[in-house]
Amino acid sequence: MRVLGIDPGLTRCGVGVVEGVAGRPLTMIGVGVVRTSPDAGLGDRLVAVERGIEQWLDEHSPGFVAVERVFAQHNVRTVMGTAQASAVAMLCAARRGIPVALHTPSEVKAAVTGSGRADKDQVGAMVTRLLRLDAPPKPADAADALALAICHIWRAPAQNRLQQAVAAHRTSGASRTPGASRTPGASRIPGAPGISRTPGAAGAPRTPDTPRTPGTPRTLKGRTA
């Protein structure tokens, strides 16, 4: 499995490619940062981010893209820029038909370090150890991108099993035929579900008694009364 991790940002967008499978040593394929000038217009900066990500997709051909999920912060301006860069990253992947996964910072930290509250130095140190690097990648955005890729490789098998289980449950539920509805007021014949009978005698409907004409003799057991 080859995953491109993207730590979105307008000024620095971290990118890192990791290859491997869960439970085995991982290999770093590449790491870097897509930079834009703060003095440029917003549209130009987003175009620069798109071109940079497209270049990484062309060069490394990942099978999956993992992007950090944007969460609320006190600095609304920073959140907006991060969200815009994140949308560009997802657009680039979706345009090529590459599956995209979103991971929160806490998920990534917990997967890499074992603690969802680890700081950036701890994340960088664990990325260095897991990928057997000589030194932590710089800047921190690059290390975060590698951590995203590692997180997805380790979490993907469990997520795939969960999605398959949910899909199987939905399929089995849709294939069930709802029980036949009963006619209100009609009773079922024991042993023959779904077959109703008319209240009264079994088989033919019951004919109401014919009124007797006054003066007509009544027959009782073959005798005339």
> Of 50, 54, 141, 144, which is the active-site residue?
141
> Of 44, 58, 59, 68, which is the active-site residue?
68
- 44 noted as active-site residue: no
Question: Sheet of 64-68: strands edge to edge?
Answer: 27-35, 12-19, 2-7, 64-68, 100-103
- 59 noted as active-site residue: no
**pTM above the 0.95 mark?**
no
- For 139-149, the pLDDT digits (tens) are 999 999 999 99
- 54 noted as active-site residue: no
- For 159-210, the pLDDT digits (tens) are 656 556 777 788 887 766 555 445 455 444 455 454 444 444 444 445 555 4
> Of 7, 19, 44, 50, which is the active-site residue?
7
Residue 101 contacts residue 67 (beta carbons within 8 Å) = yes
Q: How are beta strands 2-7 and 64-68 bridged, if at all?
A: parallel
What phi and psi, each to the nearest 5 degrees, are found at residue 98? -90, 130
